[in-house]
Amino acid sequence: MVENTRKTYGIDENIALNVPILINVIESKNKFPKEIQIKNKFIKVLSVIDLWHVYGEWWKENSVNRMYYRINSDDRVIILFKNIDSNLWYLQNDY
Amino acid sequence: MNYVELHCHSNYSFYDGASFVDELLNRAKELDYSALALTDHDNLCGAMEFSNHAKNLKIKPIIGVELSMSEGQHLTLLAKNIEGYKNISRLISYNNMSADLGVSDDVLFKHLNGVVILSGCSKSHVNQLIKSKDTKKIKEFLAMYSEVLGKKNFFIELQQNLVKGDIGRNKTLISYAKYFGIDIVATNNVHYHVSDRSKLQDILTSIKNGKPLDESHLYLRNNNQFYLKSYNEMKYLFSSYPESLLNTCKISEMCELDLQRDIEYTFPEYKVPNGYTQQTYLEKICFEAAIRKYGKITSKVENRLQEEFHLIEKHKLAGFLLIYHDIIELAREVMIDLGLTDPEIPLEERPPGRGRGSSVAMLVGYLIGLSHIDPLTYNLSLNRFLPNEMDIVPDIDLDFPRNIREELIKRVHLKWGSSHAVLTGMFSTYKEKGAIRDIGKSLGLPKVELEKLVQFSNTGLKKTLSEEIFNETGLNINKKNHLWNELVDIVSQIKGFPKYLGQHASGMIISTSPIDDMVPIQPANISGRYICQWDKKSIEQARFIKIDFLALGTLSQMQEILTLVDKKTGNYIDLTRIDFNDQAVYRSMHSGDTIGIFQIESAAQIQTIKRIKPINLIDMAYEVACVRPGVGVNDGVSQFIRRRNGEHWEYDHILEEKALNSTLGVILFQDQVNKLAMEIGNLSEMEADELRRAFGWKRSNDIIESYKTLFIKGATNKGLSRDIAIKIFKKFNGQYMFPESHAFAFGVTAYHMAWLKYYFPLEFFVSIFNQQPMGFYNLETLKEDAKRHNVVVKNPGINISNVTCSIVGKEMLLGLNIIKNLGYKTSEIIINERHSKGFYKNINNLISRTGINYAQTKNLIYSGALDSLGFSRRDLIWQLGLFESKPDNQRLMDLDFQDISPVLSGKNTWKEMLNEYSSLGLYPNGHVMEHVRKQLGDKVIPSNKIERFSSGSFIFTAGLIIRRQRPLSKAIFLTMEDEFGHIPLMVWPDIYEKNKMLLSQDLIGISGIISKREGTFNVIVHGVWPINNFSHFTQSKDWQ
């Protein structure tokens, strides 16, 4: 039996996938990621393969303003972003 | 600056560009750009405006387009020179006029001369192929383009807007560029001048796709990087490919188009018979017409004609006037075809249209059929229309009845062809109300609150939208919701944005050279018409000659009255020969009996005419001229009336006399501004005219200031003190005034209509009902006025009415087409069926024979049109219920309602009245106030008794609000109507703010103080109370 028939199921009730993880990043002079700290391990950025800016959802409480970087480290490709409003770095994907 | 932006959209990209042309150029100036391109989607709407503004800022304008190709791909085209510009214009026109979707490569390749092509944005063909990784096709495409266009004229376009994939795509493009030896060029695909405008860009995208922002993610751009960037920003983004920036400058140098200089417009040449020049032929036509008009050429006529001929020859205008003559002849052919005139009647005897504007002052115009006013009779001055010095071709505006104008436009297209005669474009732009609705919807704001806000805005009160939102007590707004702030910001940005290209009300361009060589053309919404992509202002800047054909409802009404009178009496009245000094007609105007009469029917016009009390046509011109904002702004109306009534006055300086003598020292006409500037400030004719026009221009403060200095200098040289010179200069303003001749033209038309109303009221009211929409009043008010003229208005009848209103005996029978939801077409079906198969017997019979739907039948019942079927309206509605759920294909049973109808209680007059208001927009048998009056008590004074009260008396009154207006003064003026007449109400802003909701209702009561002056009165409102919240009595005509 349904416990509460009037309850609205929305995004909060879904299981969030691919949630960005807050990370430490050491930036270069031009504010690019230079070293990334994942699970207490520092990973050097060898090259930036792609970068892109996402700005949107400004009409919502929490707008999105992020600079994404797709980088090469010695053994993998990582996608991370910097939240431009808070200056915090997040790991989005670690392939 | 080592960068030129070559891919830039303005708001003329219609919902895909978030900045005005001048915002882009001003930003370019700040960023030190030496040149800037404009490349809107598939149009050159902003080209002339852009070109002019850029030149003023000393920025080189580059004109181009982002063209849609046959599979929807984008391609960037830039004009190197006038040939390239012509080709771009032709390609856009081709796109608009052909059935093909987009331009094919074959068509493009035929229009390459003078064009530079950039490979385009992410939606370009080459980038679409890169996306699909089709190497073979990419190579084929680039090989073909570089070969056909030549490598000097084809560039691979790189864009780096920090969108995911830009880096990879650019790398691929560069590898192909190297492979084929094609040069690369950087652009930023600009859609707004500063990054903050990306919000407006998102809103526009959401509006375009008809979805709120929350559902628009698929269509929105990924970020706010599509703004006009500085050289340093672009240098940083393209640091790996510096040549792509240098090439922007190289392309800029290749582009040498100066649109204003290079455009090749010529007005058509009028072909004259052998042995004549254009000048001598025009003179011949005028002399022949003058003999027909005056019997002989008097010295007065001869002198005036010679003066005009001299000026016409000096300014080379004979061909221009002969083309107008040609157009008038075409209009006359239309008139003959419509049976409105006889080929035997000379053109000038029954001209198909009427001139307006300053051209009416020209005797030549009167003789060639351009105007209905004899300028010699009223001593009209030529100066404003044909000054001795002038650098522009004068404007001639012509008014026609609607049916003649519609046909005339078609015939002009036919005569000169769609590529040589087109209508001027006009941009429908965002106003506050529309902006609130559209943006609010995009933001997902509550609809009910948005509608309330729309209601409160645009009342003319100088409140900001922010004040409306955050201080208005009637709005239930969550002030913490930041979206209301966003709404305020974005509404202010979007105001004036073009929404779509439409058709100008009147302007037409005729050209010897193909118009699509100068500006793209496209079909108008009305079939058989073509418009160009420039508005009036761009056309003026391009120095095209615009011919204005205006449709004037009052001329259609006049034509219908004359036809009805002719039908009744067998006599077609020649309005040029009526008595223009008929004091009975003037007395009717003095009493304010001018509802429905052109130019003298608004509340302000009625009050003025009661005070001016015209007794001849010259006074009529004063009356018409007085109620213009430019006269009222300096208290000119009251001053003029007081002086007419004997108040002592003096000129500020005797030199004003020549200009202002006829109007008692008050500026009533535009021409007097010119005269005064010349007489006092010693300005030349051209300078005086530019000064007058500059008051109406945007951003013209510098020009006005320089003329002010010149004026004061000239005045002091003539012996005026500086203070007096400044005092006189202050009399000039930017508000609209009529030219003297225009006021005379309209004054005569107003008199014609007053004369017709006085002698033929039945025909007058029938025709004004049939020519709706026109004028200031709704049908209910016109019906009340008809009653006051003993014209009985009868409800429509299914078995007797025509499509439109008609005369039956001495009464007006309403036509079926005024019944809501019926319209002309359905009414015609009903009437044709009745004519062919006889009267309708019952509701079943009506529905089955005509196929009318439930709502239409219900409105027929409500309007009283089915009363003749022998049932009460309640019975009929009950019977209609039997058909409501009938499946579409099921045949109706032939029911005998007599047997099956229940017995319903008697009629409810109040309900029937409400139903008539909602189905007809009027209540033929009475007025709502007759019903309401009984409940109001004796304290509530009806309109016919108010004038008995003295000024300052406090009264209560009640009625329907039929009009709300806010002129330039602070107060709001409402017109209240009851069963006896009208009550003019004046509401001060504080009272209006307190009672806004109540004052927006139809039926209200008010308390207030009577204010009287010179035979007129107003009630100054103090309080408002509700009477009935039914809101469908009539459609009030507000804020017009």
Q: What is the pLDDT of residues B607-637, one digit of tens each?
A: 899 999 999 998 999 999 998 888 888 788 9
Chain B contact set for A68 (CB, 8 A): 164
Predicted pLDDT at B66: 98
Mutation site for B-interface testing, chosen from A53, A64, A77, A82 by largest number of B Cβ within 10 Å:
A53
Whether residue B969 has pLDDT greater than 80: no
Contact B434, B454 (CB under 8 A): no
Chain A contact set for B163 (CB, 8 A): 52-53
Whether residue B351 has pLDDT greater than 90: no
Pull the structure tokens for residue B170. 């650019």
pLDDT class of B881 with cuts at 50, 70, 90? confident
Chain A contact set for B165 (CB, 8 A): 50, 52
Question: Do A50 and B168 make contact, defined as CB atoms within 8 angstroms?
Answer: yes
Residues of chain B with a CB closer than 8 angstroms to some CB in chain A:
162-168, 198-199, 202, 213-214, 217, 220, 222-225, 443-444, 483, 486
CA distance readout (Å), B604 to B49, B284, B754, B963: 38, 46, 17, 12
Predicted pLDDT at A15: 61
Pull the structure tokens for residue B117. 């092509």
Question: Do A59 and B486 make contact, defined as CB atoms within 8 angstroms?
Answer: yes
Residue in B closest to A65 by C-alpha: B223
At B1005 the three-state DSSP class reads: strand
The minimum CA-CA distance between A55 and chain B, rounded to whole Å, is: 4
Cα–Cα nearest to B552, from B749, B340, B754: B749
Residue in A closest to B444 by C-alpha: A59
Cα–Cα nearest to B384, from B611, B693, B790, B705: B693
The minimum CA-CA distance between A75 and chain B, rounded to whole Å, is: 21
Predicted pLDDT at B462: 55
pLDDT class of B886 with cuts at 50, 70, 90? low
Sign of the C-alpha dihedral computed for residues B729, B733, B734 and B740 taken in this order? negative
Cα gap B123→B580, rounded to integer Å? 68
**What is the mean pLDDT of the segment spanning B23-45?**
97
Mutation site for B-interface testing, chosen from A59, A61, A80 by largest number of B Cβ within 10 Å:
A59
CB pairs under 8 A between A and B: 42
Question: Do B162 and A51 make contact, defined as CB atoms within 8 angstroms?
Answer: yes
Question: Do A52 and B483 make contact, defined as CB atoms within 8 angstroms?
Answer: no
List, as one string, the DSSP characters of B361-406.
G-HHHHHTTS-S--TTTTT--STTTS-SS-SSPPP-EEEE-HHHHH
Question: Do A55 and B222 make contact, defined as CB atoms within 8 angstroms?
Answer: yes
Cβ atoms within 10 Å, residue B147: 11
Whether omega for the bond prior to residue B773 falls within 30 degrees of 0, making it cis, is yes
Question: Do B198 and A55 make contact, defined as CB atoms within 8 angstroms?
Answer: yes
Predicted pLDDT at B671: 87
Contact B1000, B987 (CB under 8 A): no
Residue in A closest to B222 by C-alpha: A54
Whether residue B1027 has pLDDT greater than 80: yes
Position B412: which residue type?
V
At B1003 the three-state DSSP class reads: strand
Chain B contact set for A54 (CB, 8 A): 222-223
pLDDT class of B921 with cuts at 50, 70, 90? very high
The minimum CA-CA distance between A1 and chain B, rounded to whole Å, is: 34
Whether residue B400 has pLDDT greater than 70: yes
Whether residue B223 has pLDDT greater than 90: yes
The minimum CA-CA distance between B439 and chain A, rounded to whole Å, is: 12
Considering CB atoms only, which of B164, B213, B224 is closest to A59?
Answer: B213
Chain B contact set for A51 (CB, 8 A): 162, 167
Share of chain B above pLDDT 90, in %: 66
Q: If you count DSSP H runs as helices and E runs as strands, how many of each does chain B have, helices first?
A: 45, 22
Sign of the C-alpha dihedral computed for residues B463, B467, B468 and B472 taken in this order? negative
Position of tokens 């007449």? B981
Predicted pLDDT at B33: 97
Contact B188, B161 (CB under 8 A): yes
Considering CB atoms only, which of B168, B202, B223 is closest to A53?
Answer: B223
Cα gap A92→A53, rounded to integer Å? 14
Question: Do A59 and B443 make contact, defined as CB atoms within 8 angstroms?
Answer: yes
Whether residue B719 has pLDDT greater than 90: yes
Position B992: which residue type?
Y
Position of tokens 């029911």? B895
Question: Do A54 and B223 make contact, defined as CB atoms within 8 angstroms?
Answer: yes
Cβ atoms within 10 Å, residue B25: 28
Question: φ and ψ at B214, to 5 degrees?
Answer: -60, -25
Mutation site for A-interface testing, chosen from B164, B220, B483 by largest number of A Cβ within 10 Å:
B164
Question: Do A49 and B443 make contact, defined as CB atoms within 8 angstroms?
Answer: no
The minimum CA-CA distance between B224 and chain A, rounded to whole Å, is: 6
Contact B396, B324 (CB under 8 A): yes
Cα gap B485→B501, rounded to integer Å? 30
pTM over 0.80: no
Which H/E stretch holds residue B67? strand B60-68
Predicted pLDDT at A4: 62
Whether residue B895 has pLDDT greater than 80: no
Chain A contact set for B222 (CB, 8 A): 52-56
Pull the structure tokens for residue B511. 């050209």
Cα gap B881→B953, rounded to integer Å? 54
Predicted pLDDT at B1030: 57
Question: Do A50 and B163 make contact, defined as CB atoms within 8 angstroms?
Answer: no
Question: Do B198 and A68 make contact, defined as CB atoms within 8 angstroms?
Answer: no
At B853 the three-state DSSP class reads: coil
Sign of the C-alpha dihedral computed for residues B431, B433, B434 and B435 taken in this order? positive
Cα–Cα nearest to B84, from B116, B61, B59, B45: B116
Cα gap B671→B667, rounded to integer Å? 9
Cα–Cα nearest to B258, from B13, B45, B79: B79
Chain A contact set for B226 (CB, 8 A): none
The minimum CA-CA distance between A2 and chain B, rounded to whole Å, is: 30
Residue in B closest to A55 by C-alpha: B223
Cα gap B685→B510, rounded to integer Å? 28
Considering CB atoms only, which of A50, A53, A58 is closest to B199?
Answer: A58
The minimum CA-CA distance between B122 and chain A, rounded to whole Å, is: 15
Position of tokens 């698929």? B218
At B496 the three-state DSSP class reads: coil
Cα–Cα nearest to B144, from B129, B132, B131, B159: B129
**What is the mean pLDDT of the segment spanning B834-863?**
94
Cα–Cα nearest to B268, from B61, B510, B616: B510
Whether residue B386 has pLDDT greater than 80: no
Q: Which residues contact B259 (CB under 8 A, 6 or more apart)?
A: B47, B48, B51, B61, B63, B85, B542
**Helices B166-180 and B135-149 meet at what angle, rounded to 10?**
60
Question: Do B220 and A56 make contact, defined as CB atoms within 8 angstroms?
Answer: yes
Pull the structure tokens for residue B879. 């019977």
At A35 the three-state DSSP class reads: strand
First-residue to last-residue Cα distance in chain A: 42
Residues of chain A with a CB closer than 8 angstroms to some CB in chain B:
49-56, 58-59, 67-68
Whether residue B389 has pLDDT greater than 70: no
Mutation site for A-interface testing, chosen from B163, B167, B219 by largest number of A Cβ within 10 Å:
B167
- pLDDT tens column, A13-50: 556 677 899 999 999 998 899 999 988 889 999 999 99
pLDDT class of B897 with cuts at 50, 70, 90? low
Chain A contact set for B217 (CB, 8 A): 56
**What is the mean pLDDT of the segment spanning B869-884?**
86
Strands (E), B233-315: none
Predicted pLDDT at B29: 96
Cα gap B923→B784, rounded to integer Å? 9
Cβ atoms within 10 Å, residue B848: 14
Cα gap B577→B569, rounded to integer Å? 17
Q: Which residues contact B593 (CB under 8 A, 6 or more apart)?
A: B757, B788
Cα gap B706→B239, rounded to integer Å? 48
Considering CB atoms only, which of A53, A58, A59 is closest to B162?
Answer: A53
Predicted pLDDT at B629: 84
Cα gap B596→B605, rounded to integer Å? 12
Predicted pLDDT at B186: 98
Chain B contact set for A53 (CB, 8 A): 162-163, 222-223, 225
Whether residue B888 has pLDDT greater than 70: no
Chain A contact set for B220 (CB, 8 A): 56
**What is the mean pLDDT of the segment spanning B703-712?**
91
Whether residue B902 has pLDDT greater than 90: no
pLDDT class of B441 with cuts at 50, 70, 90? very high
The minimum CA-CA distance between B891 and chain A, rounded to whole Å, is: 47
Pull the structure tokens for residue B849. 């024979």
Cα gap B764→B762, rounded to integer Å? 5
The minimum CA-CA distance between A70 and chain B, rounded to whole Å, is: 10
